[in-house]
């Protein structure tokens, strides 16, 4: 992609998603994610009505009168965007590919976090870790993330969600708000997800096209697997073939929902021909 065309695309996405984050998502994001908790501020003398559980016994013993620890809410957060860039994201039958849809959602979330003065990081993954951008603040940093989402060319076309979650555990030692954006066409990541959700607040956003949920009856057609590169002639007139495909697709969706539920993590389904704005708002309000 030429630099001029890339900048034009970045600007277009910024205008659209920043308007959403400014007028729609900013307040919702702020009220949904209220900080990691309380951080120590100072020690002062005990006053009537103070919580006795906050008494600092070391200082109290030193001065022979009660002192308590004062805490403040820690507002600053870190958001990590984990984005699937495998071959299956290069599919779409409604105006745009899944990868383009994911870029818009990621940009909206990033600008919402920026409004809250939070840090934003990015992990691009396929069958391996393709790119890691450490968390940082600011508009220019978000624009860099959008540029990478738009023009990055992955080396690997397959998907390994478990490996991506393992990488997150290794690089993020402090609690983060994590959004994983993928079509979740993968298995065997439940164990790593449970480990990650024990430390981080993670939400899986499943992006999909309604026309990939089942195979239509089109006769004999040539189909390409975007992740393996294997091309095959498929007789879509066969009810058995269509049923097997639909069953396999449903099993992966069920695995996604079951894995996140067991891990105590959130899930969100976003279809290409539906508004992700309504889906995100509903999710934020539900959690607030």
CATH of the domain at 278: 3.40.50.410
- pLDDT reported for residue 41: 61
Q: What is the mean pLDDT of residues 266-286?
A: 91
Q: Identify the weakest region by mean pLDDT among 18-27, 140-149, 150-159, 265-274.
A: 18-27
Summarize pLDDT for 103-125 with one digit per residue, the tens: 999 999 998 888 878 899 999 99
Q: Give me the helices (H) in 52-189, please.
A: 57-63, 98-115, 139-151, 161-171
Closest CA to 86 of 266, 281, 227: 227
Query: Contact 200/168 with Cβ under 8 angstroms?
Result: yes
Domain range holding 49?
Answer: 37-74
Handedness of CA 163, 169, 171, 176 (dihedral sign): positive
Give yes or no: residues 184 and 116 share one domain. Answer: yes
Residue 24 confidence (pLDDT): 59
More confident residue, 203 or 19: 203
- b/e sequence 131-140, b meaning 16+ C-beta within 10 Å: eebebeeeee
Does residue 3 contact residue 37 with C-beta atoms inside 8 Å? no
281/182 same-domain check: yes
Bigger pLDDT: 162 vs 71: 162
Shared-domain flag, residues 54 and 131: no
Residue 171 lies in a domain: yes
pTM of the model as a whole: 0.82
The C-alpha angle with vertex 250 and arms to 245 and 255, in degrees rounded to 5, equals 130
Please tell me the total count of domains within the chain: 2
Q: Is residue 181 assigned to a domain?
A: yes
């Amino acid at each position: 992609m030429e630099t001029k065309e890339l900048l034009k695309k970045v600007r277009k996405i910024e205008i659209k998603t920043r308007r959403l984050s400014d007028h729609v998502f900013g307040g919702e994001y702020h009220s949904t994610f209220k900080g990691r908790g309380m951080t120590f501020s100072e020690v002062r003398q005990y006053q009537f009505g103070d919580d006795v559980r906050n008494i600092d016994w070391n200082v109290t013993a030193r001065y022979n009168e009660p002192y308590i620890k004062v805490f403040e809410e820690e507002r600053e957060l870190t958001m990590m965007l984990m984005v699937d860039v495998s071959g299956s994201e290069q599919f779409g039958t409604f105006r745009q590919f899944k990868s383009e849809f994911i870029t818009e959602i990621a940009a909206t979330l990033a600008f919402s976090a920026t409004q809250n003065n939070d840090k934003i990081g990015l992990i691009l993954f396929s069958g391996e870790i393709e790119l890691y951008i450490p968390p940082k603040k600011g508009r220019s940093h978000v624009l860099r993330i959008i540029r990478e989402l738009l023009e990055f060319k992955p080396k690997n076309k397959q998907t390994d969600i478990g490996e991506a979650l393992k990488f997150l555990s290794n690089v993020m030692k402090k609690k983060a708000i994590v959004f994983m954006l993928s079509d979740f066409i993968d298995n065997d990541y439940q164990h790593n997800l449970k480990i990650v959700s024990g430390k981080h607040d993670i939400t899986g956003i499943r992006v999909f096209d309604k026309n990939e949920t089942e195979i239509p009856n089109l006769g004999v057609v040539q189909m390409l697997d975007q992740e393996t590169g294997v091309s095959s002639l498929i007789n879509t007139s066969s009810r058995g073939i269509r049923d097997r495909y639909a069953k396999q697709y449903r099993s992966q969706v069920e695995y996604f929902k079951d894995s996140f539920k067991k891990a105590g993590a959130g899930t969100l389904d976003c279809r290409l021909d539906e508004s992700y704005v309504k889906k995100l708002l509903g999710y934020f309000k539900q959690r607030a």
